[in-house]
């Protein structure tokens, strides 16, 4: 168990000072650290690894103190036994793969070292690359070598800062499988920073969402991502529609409230939240959660049916991104098949259907 409770003020040029102020506990297993860029994720990892010093707080692993401002304790990074895979990977360019992986095992005898290195290289399927320099292997192989180099040291905690950025989905999932297999034996806390929904879905056990230096939510990833608590988090979680509106009235018995969207005539019903009539609020809706119809739909359970006109239709890979003007612009994702059958094209009159519970009230 890794217990963290730290506060650190950062002074950045040309911007107001930033305060990281977090407290949480991490059990063994993978915890995803999620948040928009600039939220304080890397600073947090640096503090855990000992590369940055918090102004105040306490960090301990299984009761052993790593940092405590109260008694002035601060273990240097080389004594923390916390492994860290950087976004840049930071493989030593002048050493071959084998030398990179054995770097953290200086205290072992040459025989033990060789055995451990061979096992780690095999576990991450890079044993054939031993004698190559980092510049002579592929991006995916470098990522595997970086993982092997960190894990071969038997760390007490593993920190991963977007280690799989830039890889295709198949390669990602095979590396994630290797990481999972390795940790099923070791059972250490792993902190995994990522923006990628793919990685979240593949790894998700637990998630901590941070923004502006604070923990704003935690729990199972689906729970955190499907009801984001802030605008920046909603954007990071892939909510394409972020609409501003005014609370018209609350219907407590129905558990809903009506919102008028921005300067339009559009009104939608969303789940009841902390607001009173007249408040300005933000509503987030995923583009994939909106239905699109070319005739006025009837007899639906969905309470929000909005009339509009197609503004643009654009195919991106396997989804068709349609922008619909209902007084406010909505982004709606449909499949290429649906777009073909419905003959979606600009200027076409359409209706949008939004389920009440697909509309999320978020705080700024």
Partner 1 sequence: MEALFLSIKLAACVSAILLVCGVPLAYWLANSQWRGKFLLESIVALPLVLPPTVLGFYLLVAMGPRGPLGRIWQAAFGHGLAFTFGGLVIASVIYSLPFAIQPLLFAFENVDRELLHASAVLGAGRLRTLWRVILPLSVPGVITAIVFSFAHTIGEFGVVLMVGGNLPGITRTVSIDIYDHVQSLEYAQASRLSLALLGMSFTVLAIVYGMNRKVGRRLWAPWAAKQDARC
For the bound state, the minimum distance from the C-beta of residue 135 to partner 1, rounded and expressed in Å, comes to 12
Site residues (vs partner 1, CB under 8 A): 49-51, 76-84, 86, 88, 90-95, 99, 103-104, 106-107, 110, 149-150, 153
Shorter beta-carbon distance to partner 1: residue 81 or 329: 81
- CA dist 108 and 48 (Å) reads 25
Shorter beta-carbon distance to partner 1: residue 88 or 253: 88
Shorter beta-carbon distance to partner 1: residue 114 or 246: 114
For the bound state, the minimum distance from the C-beta of residue 94 to partner 1, rounded and expressed in Å, comes to 5
Shorter beta-carbon distance to partner 1: residue 155 or 245: 155
For the bound state, the minimum distance from the C-beta of residue 130 to partner 1, rounded and expressed in Å, comes to 14
Shorter beta-carbon distance to partner 1: residue 28 or 77: 77
For the bound state, the minimum distance from the C-beta of residue 100 to partner 1, rounded and expressed in Å, comes to 9
For the bound state, the minimum distance from the C-beta of residue 199 to partner 1, rounded and expressed in Å, comes to 21
Shorter beta-carbon distance to partner 1: residue 80 or 206: 80
For the bound state, the minimum distance from the C-beta of residue 71 to partner 1, rounded and expressed in Å, comes to 23
């Amino acid at each position: 168990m890794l217990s963290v409770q730290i506060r650190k003020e950062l002074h950045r040029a040309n911007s107001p000072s930033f305060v990281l102020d977090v407290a949480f506990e991490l059990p063994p297993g993978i915890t995803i650290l999620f948040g928009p860029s600039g939220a304080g994720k890397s600073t947090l990892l640096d503090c855990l690894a000992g590369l940055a010093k918090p102004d105040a707080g306490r960090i301990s692993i299984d009761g052993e103190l790593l940092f405590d401002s109260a008694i002035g304790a601060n273990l240097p990074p080389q004594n923390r036994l916390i492994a860290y895979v950087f976004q840049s990977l930071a493989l030593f360019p002048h050493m071959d793969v084998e030398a990179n992986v054995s770097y953290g095992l200086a205290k072992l005898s040459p025989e033990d070292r060789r055995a451990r290195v061979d096992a780690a290289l095999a576990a991450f399927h890079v044993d054939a690359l031993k004698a190559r320099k980092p510049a002579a292997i592929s991006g995916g192989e470098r990522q595997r070598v970086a993982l092997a180099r960190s894990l071969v040291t038997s760390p007490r905690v593993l920190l991963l800062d977007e280690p799989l950025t830039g890889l295709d989905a198949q390669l990602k999932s095979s590396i994630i499988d290797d990481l999972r297999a390795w940790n099923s034996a070791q059972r250490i806390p792993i902190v995994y920073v990522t923006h990628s929904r793919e990685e979240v879905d593949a790894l998700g056990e637990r998630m901590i969402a941070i923004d502006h230096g604070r923990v704003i939510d935690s729990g199972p990833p689906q729970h955190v991502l499907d009801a984001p608590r802030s605008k920046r988090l909603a954007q990071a979680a892939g909510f394409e529609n972020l609409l501003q509106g005014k609370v018209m009235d609350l219907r407590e018995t129905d558990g809903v409230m009506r919102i008028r969207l921005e300067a339009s005539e559009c009104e939608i019903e969303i789940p009841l939240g902390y607001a009173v009539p007249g408040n300005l609020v933000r509503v987030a809706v995923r583009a994939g959660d909106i239905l699109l119809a070319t005739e006025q739909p009837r007899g639906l359970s969905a309470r929000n049916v909005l009339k509009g006109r197609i503004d643009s239709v654009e195919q991106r890979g396997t989804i068709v991104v349609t922008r619909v003007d209902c007084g406010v612009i909505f982004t709606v994702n449909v499949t290429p098949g649906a777009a073909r059958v419905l003959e979606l094209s600009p200027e076409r009159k359409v209706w949008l259907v939004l389920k009440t519970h697909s509309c999320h009230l978020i705080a700024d």
